[in-house]
Amino acid sequence: MARLAPFRFALVLTIAASPALAWAQEVPPPAAAVEGDVASPVPGQTMPAVGQESVPQGSSLVRFLKDVGGDYKHFFSKETAYWYTGGFAAAGLVHFADEEAAEALFDPPSATQTALEGGDKYGNLTWQVPLAVGWWVTGHAMGSSRGADAGRDLVRAQISATSWAYVLKFAFDRERPNGDPRSFPSGHSTASFATAMVLQEHYGWKVGVPFFAASTYTAVSRLTINKHWASDVTFGAFVGMASARTITLHVRNQKFALAPLPARGGGGVAFVRVN
């Protein structure tokens, strides 16, 4: 078995190639001059025809790209620093048992290998990306703004988490247990834990727990096939969760207000989201 190269605990966060995006900004139209109760157009401004809806400027793709760019900007935050600090501390502790864990899990029974094959597939981007896109498309098709929003965040999380994972992979270039390069952190763990954290933020622990269980299943599967050290999957989980927390800032920042809900013979109150 290949010996573990010296483990370097220094975080190098560099984006090798960040495409410059020209963000489309919506410029509010000039205010109408109001005469009494009738709004008259400002000279030079064309008033829309009656019943004609104003078309928002900027395509959905431009807004999505702008949000993705903002995800990288927001990544450099105090909260992310806490997640990475905790991740390095946890990976550092696990690192002391890396070789022992690799030896214990080396060449497991065929039944165990077969049982864990699903985890290796689930953490792959060929599963995670279609899962994210499918969630987004299904949410739109069903008219569920919550589902569409969660799916959109899943796609953003995969973009962010995967890019950071590969920045770290090339920065550390750690040798895998099987001798291959770029072991740290585990990309499978990063992708699957990013998905779990996004869904937990949107739907709570009832949905989050099963996906976190699937992510743990994936992490273990990477050890039994000799692809990663235990500290690789540990830190990969933190990278994925930190990226997802950055993506879902808008979910935690949502504000709600009480609004009256009239009904025949009575009434009630409703929680209304304030944008």
d(CA 253, CA 255): 6
Q: Residue 267: pLDDT above 60? A: no
Query: If residue 158 lies in a helix (H) or strand (E), which one and from where to where?
Result: helix 145-172
The band of 264, judged by pLDDT with boundaries at 50, 70 and 90, is: low
| Mean of all residue pLDDT scores within the chain | 79
CA-to-CA dists, residue 128 to 6, 119, 121, 133, 239, angstroms? 32, 12, 9, 9, 16
Architecture of domain 60-254: Up-down Bundle (1.20)
Locate 235 and state its tokens.
Answer: 């830190």
Q: Where are the domains of the chain?
A: 60-254
Of 87, 92, 122, 132, the closest CA to residue 220 belongs to 122
**Residue 114 pLDDT:** 86
Least reliable range by pLDDT among 60-69, 151-160, 255-264:
255-264
The band of 160, judged by pLDDT with boundaries at 50, 70 and 90, is: very high
User: Taking residues 172-177, what's their average pLDDT?
Assistant: 96
Portion of the chain with pLDDT greater than 70, in percent? 71
* Amino acid at site 110: S
Q: What is the pLDDT of residues 112-140, one digit of tens each?
A: 888 888 998 999 999 999 999 999 999 99
pTM of this prediction exceeds 0.75: no
**Residue 106 pLDDT:** 82
CA dihedral angle for residue 26, residue 31, residue 32, residue 37, rounded to 10 degrees: 120
Q: What is the pLDDT of residues 2-19, one digit of tens each?
A: 333 333 333 333 333 333
